[in-house]
Structure 1
Amino acid sequence: MTATRLAVWAAIALALVGTLMLYNQPGFLVNLADQLWSCF
């Protein structure tokens, strides 16, 4: 159980750090928003 919990918390922390790193690249976010709006 402890190893599973540690793996889950590590995955959550990695996802949060990855998201914060993407916010440091505004060009990527603009491109992502353009792709999202092109669906509509």
Structure 2
Amino acid sequence: MHGRMIDIVSATPDTIDSLMKLDLAPEVDVEVRSMGNKG
């Protein structure tokens, strides 16, 4: 199994909406999590 994490700093609601609308291959699993402020 291969995994990759992308850390997006200061994401806007439009950023999250765009990520959720990506057209990906059926075998690609995407999980979007909000980690809250780390500052």
Q: Do both share a fold (TM > 0.5)?
A: no
TM-score under structure 2 normalisation? 0.35
Higher RCO by CA contacts (8 Å cutoff, separation 6 or greater) = 2
TM-score of the pair, normalised by structure 1: 0.34
Q: Which has the larger radius of gyration?
A: 1
Q: Which has the higher helix share?
A: 1
